[in-house]
Amino acid sequence: MPKDTFSYESIGVIRTPFESPEGMPIQPIGADSVTGTVEIDASYADGLADLAEFSHCILLYHFHASSDDAPLRVEPFLDDERRGVFSTRAPQRPNSIGLSIVAIESVTEQELTVSGIDVVDGTPLLDLKPFVPEFDIPSKVQTGWLDASESTIRSEQADKRFL
């Protein structure tokens, strides 16, 4: 299989109260009361124009605190069975790219204040996009093996399995 290599540069940094992955909420829905900031590099600040009109945005970032080891089968947080990594939201992946949908609290010249943030402090930001339900929420979905209630996801915290 041919290997293409891509290079991305960080456009900013995500600031949160989480110093390491251990003990963090495992998804943004479990972090709805957690506030963080997204600091945009000055050269990209003009791109924040009009974002304050949206209630939520999608953060795409680099899992800088995850191990480089990316097994293709993992035991995800909400299960005790090994699953294919692409059927999970595990942070160890062949390409260390993460995404979170967060609520926008405020936008200033070079910074977003967001809530529902579930990433480690200092995480490099690759991109951000407005969340648009009509674009981003399919009308019919199946969640495969993942049959966890919202209350379970809200209370689950990361442990040492992906450190």
Greater pLDDT, 153 or 123: 123
* Residue 157: per-residue pLDDT: 55
Domain of 30, in residue numbers: 10-132+139-156
pTM over 0.85: no
Q: Residue 66's domain is classified under what CATH number?
A: 2.40.30.70
Average pLDDT, integer, range 6-32: 81
Taking alpha carbons only, the member of 19, 7, 115 closest to residue 62 is 7
Whether the CB-CB separation of 77 and 156 falls below 8 Å is answered with yes
Q: What letters, b where the CB count within 10 A reaches 16 and e where it falls short, cover 75-106?
A: ebbbeeeebebeebebbbbeebebebbbbbee
27 Cβ neighbours under 8 A, 6+ residues apart = 89, 118, 153
Residue 21 lies in a domain: yes
Instruction: Specify the residue for token string 């790219």.
Output: 97
**Per-residue pLDDT band at 61 (split at 50, 70, 90):** very high
Question: pLDDT tens across 21-57, in order?
Answer: 777 666 656 667 789 999 999 999 999 999 999 999 9
Give domain status of residue 32, yes or no. Answer: yes
Domain count, the chain: 1
